[in-house]
Amino acid sequence: MGVYAYKGIDARGKAVKGSRDADSAKALRTVLKRDGILATEILEQSEAAKKAARDIDLGRLFRRVTPMDVAISTRQLAVLLRAGVPLVEALSALIEQLDHPELKAAFTDTRNQVNEGSTLADALKAHPKIFLTLYVNMVAAGEASGTLEEVLGRLAEFLDDQTRLQSKVRGAMAYPVVMAVVVVLILFLMMSVVVPKVTAIFENFNQTLPWYTRLLISVSDIFSDYWWLIAALIGGGIYWFRRWKATEQGRKKWDIFLLEVPLFGPLLIMVAVARFARTLATLLSSGVPVLTAMDITRNVLDNTELKRVVEEARASVREGEGIAKPLRQAGRFPPMVTHMIAVGERSGQLEEMLIHVADSYDQQIEVRVGAMTSILEPLMIVFMGVVVGGIAFAILMPLLQLNEMIQ
């Protein structure tokens, strides 16, 4: 007996689809006919999964599976398991209501493997781009401890928290980047198009122009005559920077530089601390061994310097020491964080302390992002006003002088 996916039309003319166990496709067609369903397509589950994978190749180019998609699916699966629905049946119910084709194909393949005797964690491991190592290890711990539905609930909350955190940070970074791009484009347009046309009237002047007007005309001439060279230099600089940052030494120096940049550096550290604390707390509370949890947490961090610090802490734990001491000695984590971790280790409440740290830093990130946005907005406006005002001043002053001479 195998599992078959089918599509058909019921007695009311409505399109239906699903999957059932049957001895053969012919037998399933007979069963469906008895239930009032005219089957239009019947495929073995493996063939249906391959077909679904082919169908999503184009869709994958336009929409990837996001952590929020995975979080919603995980929460739905947890609800079904808490209600006492068997795992295979819960996966089938989840698949029927999924809209994202790639996520649907992944869960379909997962259900097939579970139906054939595989564990849920091993089945999820076959889709590393959708279900990260952290996700798979937590599911494995939940299966081993018999608390899978609780672990899935924690996973959904964790993914929600991470998505909110990333949205806050991206929102803070997006505004200054967009404003900087707009300023550069406006300046380039003014220097290469507007200023040359306006300053052309100065060619008939018989007196020396002010130094700032001559400087403006020189800069404008450079933009007009050598814009292609400027564009090539900028493109080459970006290419060289990306090549340099791709090297181990370059990435290390760049990550250290980011942590020390005023205004943005402290924010990046806050984000890393919140992610570190919440990830480690979620893994430990789900029953993942501490060394495995530290390794997964290290890989969650984006900064190589902070990864090095966590790896040193992991080595310290392997030798029988605690987590707090190497984190404090490295000097990258705030003293409050290392102190709370030390208290948690001594009291046996490390998970609770890490959650407190994550919640505290999430709040601080929200406050810092709001403060940064409120500071950067007027600064960018003032900068733009000064630049445009300077250009206008350099153009208008010679015209005013000419007018005075004529009078």
- Residue type for position 78: A
Q: Is the pLDDT of residue 58 over 60?
A: no
64-156 shares its CATH topology with 157-407: yes
Residue appearing with tokens 């971790």: 341
- Fold for the domain defined by 157-407: Receptor-associated Protein (1.20.81)
pLDDT tens per residue, range 313-326: 888 888 888 888 88
Min mean pLDDT across 156-165, 171-180, 294-303, 353-362 is at: 171-180
User: What is 64-156's CATH number?
Assistant: 1.20.81.30
DSSP SS3 for 226: coil
- Residue type for position 387: V
Q: By C-alpha distance, which of 123, 105, 92 is closest to 18?
A: 92
Contacts 24+ apart (CB under 8 A), 198-206: 198/395, 199/395, 202/398, 205/398, 205/402
pLDDT tens per residue, range 238-271: 999 999 988 989 999 998 998 888 878 888 888 8
Residue appearing with tokens 């991470």: 162
pLDDT band for 237, please (50, 70, 90 cuts). Answer: very high
pLDDT tens per residue, range 342-353: 898 888 888 889
* Domain boundaries of the chain, sorted by first residue: 2-55, 64-156, 157-407
The values of phi and psi at residue 5, to 5°, are -100, 140
Which pTM value belongs to this model?
Answer: 0.66
pLDDT band for 60, please (50, 70, 90 cuts). Answer: very low
